[in-house]
Each structure stands twice: as structure tokens, then as C-alpha cells.
Amino acid sequence: MLSTFLLLTTLCAAAQEVVLMDKNMFLKDIFDYQQSQEWKYKGDKPAIIDLYADWCAPCRMVAPIMKQLAKEYAGKVAFYKVNVDKERELAALFNASSIPLFVFIPADQTPQLFRGAADKETYKKVIEDFLLKKQ
């Protein structure tokens, strides 16, 4: 069962879709907060984590935008989503008291939180100006 999950996760990532993330994947691919309190991103490219819930109307409105952006930024930005009802520990880690909550993770800086739903152009601006901006 685990190998099937890993295979599907790998296939989704290869297709540049938004990948559903759980705690174990977060610890392995993003940041192991159980080993260190100091942020150290494990990824090789910037990432966006969408903290959402199935019952959240603004979350459902933003989901298609994230799918479009995942295709547009394929190979440049990794896109993940975390269901806060199923992954309460991750929700608590980011103090997700309201959703949707987006975690924008640059490859070499501290992540920034973006609360609430927005239009596609707003997300593109954050991606271009914060995640992909060359220093």
C-alpha cells in the first residue's frame, strides 16, 4: 500500500500537479521540525503549500487556480496541498486558524504565509516576486 502511495505521489509530481501532502511527506521533503527548530528547507526548488479543507468554499474556489499554476510553473515551483482536518499537526505548525492558508517557500529563505483566497494574478505576482526573483 505504501509503495502504491509513493508511486502515485511520484507520478503526480512528474505530471506537475498539486500533490496531496501528509506529515511524513512534509518531514521528508520540506522540513523535519522534529529534528530541528531552525528552518531548513529540504527541497531543490521553491514550493507552495495550500492548507485547505473540503468544506471550505474559498478553498474550493482557489483549487483550480493552483492546478493551473502548477502546470504553468512546472519544473520551477513545487505545489502541495494539506487537508487541515486530516493533518492537524501540520495545520498547527503554521497556525492555520483560518483557511485557505498558503505557505510560500523560497529555495533559500524563510517561508512566508499568505492568508485567504485571491485571484490568479495575485498568486503569480508572489511567485514571480518572492519565489523566483533572482537575488
Among 16, 4, 6, 22, which residue's Cα sits nearest to residue 81? Answer: 22
Catalytic residues: 56, 59
What is the spatial distance between Cα 29 and Cα 21, in angstroms, rounded to a whole number? 10
> Would you tell me how many other CB atoms lie within 10 Å of the CB of residue 61?
13
Q: Are residues 62 and 74 in contact, defined by beta-carbon separation less than 8 angstroms?
A: no
